[in-house]
Amino acid sequence: MNLPKINNKYLVAVLVFVSYTLFAMAWVGGTASMGQIMASMQIDSLASASFISGAVTLAKIVGTFIAAWLAVKLGVKKAFFISGILISVGLLTPLSPNYELLLVSRFLMGLGGAFMIVYFNPIVMAWFEPEERPTINGINAVAFNVGTGIILWQMSNFNTITGSWQNTLLIFSLVSILLSATWLLVKDKETNTATQQDDEARVSYSYIDGLKDKFNWIYALTYSGILAFYICLFTFYPKAGISQSALVIGSGIIGTLAGIVYSKKFLARVPVIRWSGLVIIFTVLGLSFGDTEWLQTTCAMALGFFIFFPITALVTIPHELPNMTGERITVVFSLFYSISYLIATVVLWSFGRLVDINQGDFASAFTLITVVSSTFFIGSFFLPETANYKKAKISSKQQESSCEA
């Protein structure tokens, strides 16, 4: 029996977006229910809880690093399917009879999410024209925030409807399995040639090539600062008595939508990254050291907006570089996320260490994270402006047309 193939690019985009949104819902839902999960296993050790967080972080670093290798070996379609199946292992989280199985389920689920976020870009590149990619990239960038926001605001309602937190998490995982099965119906459409903006022969691009490429290091280091801040915001800021984290998510969704519109209208990518980065530094300062609730609330809302406003431009830059191929862009984003998460993990550990050394005082740690958040602004001075490549391409084509005439 031959099942019909999914060949509509917008349906493919919806499938990718919903798959990652559901991952966020299952992931954050599991995190929100972790106290109940640990209590059901009669585990009250903070060390055990922190070990779960450490395993998850390791999954993100390792997963994003090896994602390109898996895609090269199996193809992006099969690799994305595997990422969906790994996410579905979250099914074991509410069913785990012991701590060890819980740890494995969270690790594999995190691994699946790490794979999936890397595969956004080769999928977008294969299915969408260059002028459409900023919009799709921007929509994908907000998927995790949408899933997180749904859980933060609706988890209790889900639990009421399903009867328990266990049933809610089970349903999330079952829907993930269904989406993974649906993904198998998508037409296999790999990007093995240079993009339409560069009609050149495909050139192999390995991990070694990626590690030697200066752009990849600049690109990852630029993002690492706000990633580190974002993780610290939800990990440590509530413990410091700063409770405006949820506002960052809501404003982030608005910022992403505004960023999509902006990136469609303006071709230049670097200016929006640079000026947003400058705003981020001052708003991190205000949120961290502000002595009034209205100031911290205002800064939290501005932070959410300006962290995500330039993300569409940021993730679109590699798509617009000369000689970009599906293989190369997979390696680029594999290194982008793995390097960023590795740096963010070190920053996270340093933040906690500074709080411990100073007997619970957060001042030094807040100073550290403010300095680290400046990488977005500083990195913008070293990122390539892809609008220049597009203008050069247009000029070249105009000259060719003139010569032919």
CA dihedral 135, 140, 143, 146 (to 10 degrees): 0
Cβ proximity of 253 and 142 under 8 Å = yes
CA atoms of 378 and 302, how far apart (whole Å): 19
CA dihedral 32, 36, 39, 44 (to 10 degrees): 20
Instruction: Tell the CATH superfamily of the 7-184 domain.
Output: MFS general substrate transporter like domains (1.20.1250.20)
Average pLDDT over every residue of 26-51: 69
Instruction: Provide the pLDDT for residue 196.
Output: 44
CATH of domain 204-390: 1.20.1250.20
pLDDT band at 199 (very low <50, low <70, confident <90, very high): very low
Instruction: Provide the pLDDT for residue 394.
Output: 47
Average pLDDT over every residue of 72-78: 90
Asked if 7-184 and 204-390 have one fold, the answer is yes
- Residue 193: pLDDT above 60? no
Per-residue pLDDT tens over the stretch 237-254 = 888 888 887 788 889 889
What does the mean pLDDT of the chain come to? Answer: 86
Domain residue ranges in the chain? 7-184, 204-390
Instruction: Report the range of poorest mean pLDDT among 47-51, 210-214, 221-225.
Output: 47-51
Place of tokens 């309602």: 157
Average pLDDT over every residue of 254-258: 92
Instruction: Provide the pLDDT for residue 215.
Output: 96
